[in-house]
Amino acid sequence: MPHPTADDFQAAAARVAPFVFRTPLVRLPLAGGDPVFAKAENLQRTGSFKLRGATNFLARLDPGVRARGVVTHSSGNHAQGLACAAADHGVPAAIVIPHGAPEVKVARTLAWGARVERCDNDKAAREETAARLADELGATVVPPYDHPWILEGQGTVGLEILEDLPDVANVLVCVGGGGLLAGIAGALRAFGCEALIVGVEPELAADARESFVRGEIVAWPAEDVVRTVADGVRTQALGVHTFAVIRDTVDAFVAVSEDAILDAAAWYLREAHLTVEPTGALALAAVHALRRGEGPVRLRPGPTVVLVSGGNADPAVLVELARRPLD
């Protein structure tokens, strides 16, 4: 299937505009070097970028099909995004959330009026449970990341970056299933942006980096990826659509340690006054590493944007971050 085009991303931006916040680029108080800006999707209505793709998908559905409801599986942020989008469109939503997902994300999904069903935390269990619910309810399954309509919606983040910072030199994006990275990278390239684009993962869940290096989708076992504190990227593999776009548009991948992730999340909380879940801190952790000369690439001269994918952290995690020593 062809990659989304510039027209596709612009059309998606028009569809989602009534329902999503245009989030700011926040200049971070980092010492030395060129400026670094956080694209603060933690300030989105649902605390995450996921609302964009879910909204675009629902807007694209035939009204009769949409009215029968939607189903998805998610560790939490896509769950909230689809629950909110379904509420905005007045349709029912059933969400499959694996055991082990942060309870704050489960509670907020329920607060949007969605039905929640739990399952084991592996890809097969999630997909099978969602398919069963869709069959029982006559509803449509909305993929968490691997669909062109989802990529179009997430790519609206890239359009906003280009509009607010047309001379951006580097863009760093966390990656789980690849919807956010593929959407942003696809949109940036569709509009001629030549910035360095870097995907960022935890070392404990670096399947996308391995896939990128090997030139084929590589899946990691569920028991491996669940080890990372970055619960939003515990997916086992990239999707077919996301991998195809990432392969053609992304320059490099960086994997960071658990300590680096938590250090970056703590820094956001205490120095930038932003509430960021560990997944949302991945890109900043990579900037710190690249500034030290670690990693496969060097940042290009000029402004850098790091994606803060979400801010839906459990209160207990925030307490730990507030107490974490900073260098």
Q: What stretch of H or E contains 252? A: strand 252-256
Cα 281 to chain center, whole Å?
Answer: 11
- The DSSP-derived string for 143-191 is -SS-SHHHHHHHHHHHHHHHHH-TT--EEEEE-SSSHHHHHHHHHHHHT
Identity of the amino acid at 173: V
User: How far is the C-alpha of 29 from the C-alpha of 303, rounded, in Å?
Assistant: 13
- Selected catalytic residue, list 75, 105, 211, 309: 75
Only one residue has tokens 């009769």, namely: 64
Known catalytic membership, residue 309: no
Known catalytic membership, residue 75: yes
| Sign of the CA dihedral with 186 first, then 161, 310, and 288 last | positive
Tokens of 314: 């459990």
Q: What stretch of H or E contains 203? A: none
Identity of the amino acid at 78: H
User: How far is the C-alpha of 247 from the C-alpha of 242, rounded, in Å?
Assistant: 8
Q: Under a CB-based contact definition with an 8 Å cutoff, are residues 51 and 19 in contact?
A: yes
Q: In what order do the strands lie in the sheet with 70-73?
A: 115-119, 93-98, 70-73, 140-141
Give the phi and the psi of residue 310 in degrees, each rounded to 5.
-170, 165
- Whose CA is closest to 162, among 197, 128, 203, 131? 197
Local structure of 222: helix, strand or coil:
helix
- Selected catalytic residue, list 39, 48, 50, 309: 50
User: How far is the C-alpha of 319 from the C-alpha of 324, rounded, in Å?
Assistant: 9
Q: Which residues are catalytic?
A: 50, 75
